[in-house]
Chains A and B, each alone.
Chain A
Amino acid sequence: KQEVTQIPAALSVPEGENLVLNCSFTDSAIYNLQWFRQDPGKGLTSLLLIQSSQREQTSGRLNASLDKSSGRSTLYIAASQPGDSATYLCALHTGGFKTIFGAGTRLFVKA
Chain B
Amino acid sequence: NAGVTQTPKFRVLKTGQSMTLLCAQDMNHEYMYWYRQDPGMGLRLIHYSVGEGTTAKGEVPDGYNVSRLKKQNFLLGLESAAPSQTSVYFCASSETQGSNQPQHFGDGTRLSIL
Using a CB–CB distance below 8 Å, which chain A residues touch chain B?
Answer: 4, 31-32, 34, 36, 41-46, 49, 51-53, 89, 91, 93, 96-104
Contacts and interface: CB of A to CB of B under 8 A. Distances in A.
Contacts, number: 62
Contacts of A97: 31, 33, 45, 48, 50, 56, 58, 97
B108 A42 contact: yes
B85 interface: no
Given A97-B58, A99-B45, A43 B108 contact: yes
Interface residues of B, number: 27
Given A97-B48, A97-B56, A97-B97, A46 B42 contact: no
B57 to A, nearest CB: 10
Interface in B81-112: 90, 92, 97, 99-100, 102-108, 110
A43 B107 contact: yes
B56 A103 contact: no
Interface of B: 4, 6, 31, 33, 40-45, 48, 50, 56, 58, 90, 92, 97, 99-100, 102-108, 110
Contacts of B97: 96-97
A102 B58 contact: no
Given A97-B48, A97-B58, A103-B40, A52 B103 contact: no
B42 A100 contact: yes
